[in-house]
Amino acid sequence: MSQYTPMIQQYLSVKANHQDAFLFFRLGDFYEMFFDDALNASRILEITLTSRDGGSSDRIPMCGVPYHSAPGYIKRLVADGYKVAICEQVEDPRQAKGVVRREVVQIITPGTVMDDQLLSDRDNNYIGSLALGEKGEYALVIADLSTGEAKGYLRKAEKSGILADFSRHRVKEAVLDSSTYSEWKDSIHNSQEFTASSEDRDEIPDGFSGHVSHLNHHLLHKAAGRLFQYLKHTQKRSLGHMRPVIVQSDDVLMKLDAFSKRNLELVETNRTKGKKGSLLWLLDKTMTSMGARKLKQWLEEPLFIRSLVKQRLDTVEALYSKFFEREEIRQQLKNVYDMERLAAKVAFGNASPRDLLQLKLSLQNVPAIKAQLSQLDCAGSEELLMKMDEHTELADYLERAVHENAPLLLKEGNIIKEGFSAELDEYRDASVNGKAWIASLEQKEREATGIRSLKIGYNKIFGYFIEVTRSNLGGVPSERYERKQTLSNAERFVTPELKEKERLILEAEEKMAGLEHALFLEIRSHVKNYVPGLQQLAGSLAELDVLQSFASVSEERRFVKPVISESGQVRIQGGRHPVVEKVMDAQEYVANDITLDNNHSMLLITGPNMAGKSTYMRQLALTAIMMQVGCFVPADSAELPLFDQIFTRIGAADDLVGGQSTFMVEMLETNYAIRNATADSLILLDEIGRGTSTYDGMALAHSIIEHIHDHIGAKTLFSTHYHELTILSETLPSLKNVHVSAVEEDGRLVFLHKIVDGHADQSFGIQVAELADLPAPLIKRAKHILGDLEKNGKEPVQVIKETAAALEQPESQLSLFESPVQPAGKTAKKSDSIIAMITSLNLLEMTPLDAMNKLYELQKKAR
């Protein structure tokens, strides 16, 4: 350390305590970075790398950013998963003896962002903390620092399941104990979408006992303690807006694993990872940011409590039927700002004057919203009304205190309204009248001296002055004017009268600025007392916003109120896929019915590719989710039970980073479903077994269907191209065959997209390839090979071998489609008999076992 200058020594001592973060070290109007931080930041942020003399023989790498533009650079670092420690000057440089004292005032991490520029207003920014127990048990506590909400979960899983849980909740940062952090950090860095951090302290910090006193498990206490310790360490300020941890029990929510959320495209699409094309995109007609976040939360955690689902549906029905009241509520909500985050910023101590103005305007809209809500007359609206405190006193207080044109920044002034503080008004009067006096003085001096170009100016160095051009210096009254500054073409003067008035004006402005700052802090402190009530009001407004969004979408898209089934049956008439229907727009969507009950709880779906099997399966899952979040559903009529879980295996996806093939991913997702599903679950399995050989895939599919049928009993939709499986309906009483109809017209395949009873006759694979516009010779060749397979009963491998042999002997090429020459006599007759037996077989209706028996019989006859 001794080789460096005192300032660099100070930097190194601070950096030693923040090795895992970029240290933004304040030097005047810049945040500077040195050594490795400078090398890395200049590359990531694409800023100029320089160097400086730090006292050592080698120059020190350095880069920096202006303090006023730092949020943009911090946002880029945090978005890439890095942490930033903000080191500010905490001492006035004019009073410092030696190096100005500096301290880290905040550590900004991906999970602890509070700046509006760094946050998405329609998405939560979650940080999660983990506490591991024995036998796979663990507690997960997640929180959003920007809103103050905190939720706890107690579950069992191995490492992969825990990491999947973090991903399922879309956390941006996971806080682990140091041992777990060391073990997991590489796999998290390589394959997950969140950052890992370590914190060993897990005792509940002072001031947070009330947040966890209701938790009834020691692991939840440890996870919450670790989270609050980490937040306290990184934020170094009040966290009074943090709310008690709400324990989310698995028996009150539908469980949706990460696979199902991805496959069903609930909040983002698989292809673009964007919102457009997802269920969230369809349902989001919310008017506020907090309503948009609430909608996303509901979609990812639908309800599994009949009474709450019914209450939401009834409220949506009331909003649906009261068009004018709903539209008025929408218009009023449009004027409500993000009260959740405004309240958090007040408690956090970084609320701006503009924030308090937005809070006031939001509160002033609440009475009108309540007036319209009172017209609905349902249990849900009455409950919302009870939780909506108008906070009239606070609204009136802010109306008196905050100027209607309050600026964004505190230092800009003009924050406090006239009449709020008599002392401030006096200073303002002195400042305003003083400036008016100076303006009148200018006119007075012009008349007294006869110098028409005389003017009174001001700058920070000399204060107020009288400026006279050189050509007019002869008219200057030397007995009153005191020379202050000489310019190339003018002289500047002051008078005793001007100096006295300057003193009064500047003193008033200085005191006015200090007093206005103090008054604003006092106002913000007063508002802080209302934070818990404001958070409850914000939650109720967000809930109302989501419900009106459901009602608006339901009216626009012709959705109907579903009936919650008491008997566990699914009976949907004219069901539609809500997103596909909207994307199709002007095209007519082919609606389909679906019936599942205790007698037929499984549907085996066959039909060609692109005919609509996957869409049919997804629309059932989306309909169930929409009902269980409280929304009307896309159908002519619908009756569904409450599902405790939905499991899906739809689509093909490699996990290249994890080293898993499409088939392995398929097996893992299927395994998760059959190990965790119950009789109250919904399982959707699409073409299981396609990623391996025909017989392997068919055997697995067969076995999976039997296992679900015999041991789980869940409502299941299973699509397949193995037509041989359709015979299972004869031995499995709860299995029913259905297929997606398609017809050939003039050699072209036409999809009817209609689900009908029975199994499909063929897969139409070549016709689908023809629709994809594959080369005509290729299509023709495929049809010839298929014809040979169907006509002669040859195995595909045999056909390939024969084709290869023919290609190797072009001069005597064999045709795959000419009848072979039969030897004369008895041998020819025996061959004819065997061929006749083979060609008479209907392979599509034979089980693998039947095929093996017939093959054995043919072999005996041939020998």
With tokens 């958090």, the residue in question is 344
Residues in a beta bridge with 640: 564
Q: Is 489 annotated as a binding residue?
A: no
Residue 133 CA: distances (Å) to CA of 156, 171, 177: 9, 21, 12
Residues in a beta bridge with 716: 602, 683
What is the C-alpha to C-alpha distance for residues 853 and 858, in angstroms, rounded to an integer? 9
| Close Cβ partners of 842 (under 8 Å, ≥ 6 residues apart) | none
**Is 418:404 a contact under the CB 8 Å cutoff?**
no
Instruction: With residue 469 as reference, give the H or E element that holds it.
Output: strand 463-469
DSSP of 156-194, one letter per residue?
Answer: E--HHHHHHHHHHTTEEEEEE-HHHHHHHHHHHHHH-SS
**Residue 78 CB-density burial (10 A; 0-12 exposed, 13-18 middle, 19+ buried):** buried
Q: Which two tokens stand for residue 524?
A: 């913000």
What is the C-alpha to C-alpha distance for residues 524 and 243, in angstroms, rounded to an integer? 19
Q: What is the CA radius of gyration of the chain?
A: 37
Provide the 10 A C-beta neighbour count for residue 654: 13
Identify the sign of the CA torsion 446, 449, 451, 452. Answer: positive
Q: Which two tokens stand for residue 821?
A: 């020459």
Provide the 10 A C-beta neighbour count for residue 693: 9
Q: Is 611 annotated as a binding residue?
A: yes
Q: Is 374 annotated as a binding residue?
A: no
Q: Order across the sheet with 246-247: list the strands.
A: 195-198, 171-176, 126-132, 137-144, 150-156, 246-247
Q: Is 607 annotated as a binding residue?
A: yes
| Close Cβ partners of 310 (under 8 Å, ≥ 6 residues apart) | 564
Q: Which two tokens stand for residue 782?
A: 């495929």
Grouping H, G, I as helix, E, B as strand and the rest as coil, residue 590 is coil
* Angle made by CA atoms 61, 84, 123, in degrees to the nearest 5: 140
Q: Is 609 annotated as a binding residue?
A: yes
| Close Cβ partners of 825 (under 8 Å, ≥ 6 residues apart) | none
Grouping H, G, I as helix, E, B as strand and the rest as coil, residue 686 is strand
What is the C-alpha to C-alpha distance for residues 282 and 271, in angstroms, rounded to an integer? 17
Provide the 10 A C-beta neighbour count for residue 857: 11
Q: Is 294 annotated as a binding residue?
A: no
**β-strands 150-156, 137-144: how paired?**
antiparallel
Identify residue 536 by its one-letter amino acid code: Q
**Is 632:550 a contact under the CB 8 Å cutoff?**
yes
Q: Which two tokens stand for residue 318?
A: 């009331």
**Is 312:378 a contact under the CB 8 Å cutoff?**
no
Residue 501 CA: distances (Å) to CA of 424, 439, 498, 512: 19, 12, 5, 16
Q: Which two tokens stand for residue 401?
A: 């205190």
Range list of H helices, 108-158: none
**Nearest by Cα to 405 from 394, 417, 395:** 417
What residue numbers does the annotated binding site cover? 607-614
What residue numbers does the annotated binding site for ATP cover? 607-614
